[in-house]
Amino acid sequence: MQELDIDVNALIDKMTAELKPLLIKYPGAKMIGIRTGGEWIAQSLHRQLELTDELGVIDISFYRDDFSKIGLNPTIKPSHIPWDVEDQHLILVDDVLFTGRTVRSALNEIFDFGRPASVTLVTLLDRKGCRELPLQADIVGMPLKCEQTLKLTGPEPLKIMISEPSEVSA
């Protein structure tokens, strides 16, 4: 894996600026990060936006639809949503939007907590052209090619790593 020359902090600054009008429209909006990379991005956005309500975090491991293929993640942690979801405007944050299956799992879990008024999807990276489900992010830090296999490392510092095609097939 090699590190991509992408300024993650600059992308987070861009996303923060794009989220500010949403917070004017929905002043009590609450934020949820998808563990692990989405949680790291959400922590940065939450801090920069100076949101007063505690950050929510969800672990979608039990909601995955490929459970039988990949097995159970050995590091499952409980989800933590410290406020009522019902009728709230939520900002759902993930690190990489790829097939859409992680977002689907996250929405399933959120709806187990209650029915939000709205959900705004925010993602640091969007691997366009690889969707398996009809989902798209409302706010994207940066689009990338579908063929690139990415991994966010962090939380401090946040870096984006990319696998070469030979590394993926090996």
Cα diameter, the chain: 48
Q: What is the mean pLDDT of the chain?
A: 86
pTM of the full structure: 0.84
Alpha helices in the chain (DSSP H): 8-25, 37-49, 67-70, 101-113, 165-169
pLDDT of residue 167: 40
User: Which of 1-15, 48-62, 103-117 has the least mean pLDDT?
Assistant: 1-15
pLDDT of residue 165: 53
Distance CA 43, CA 63 (A): 23
pLDDT of residue 168: 41
Domain ranges of the chain: 8-145
Q: Which CATH architecture has domain 8-145?
A: 3-Layer(aba) Sandwich (3.40)
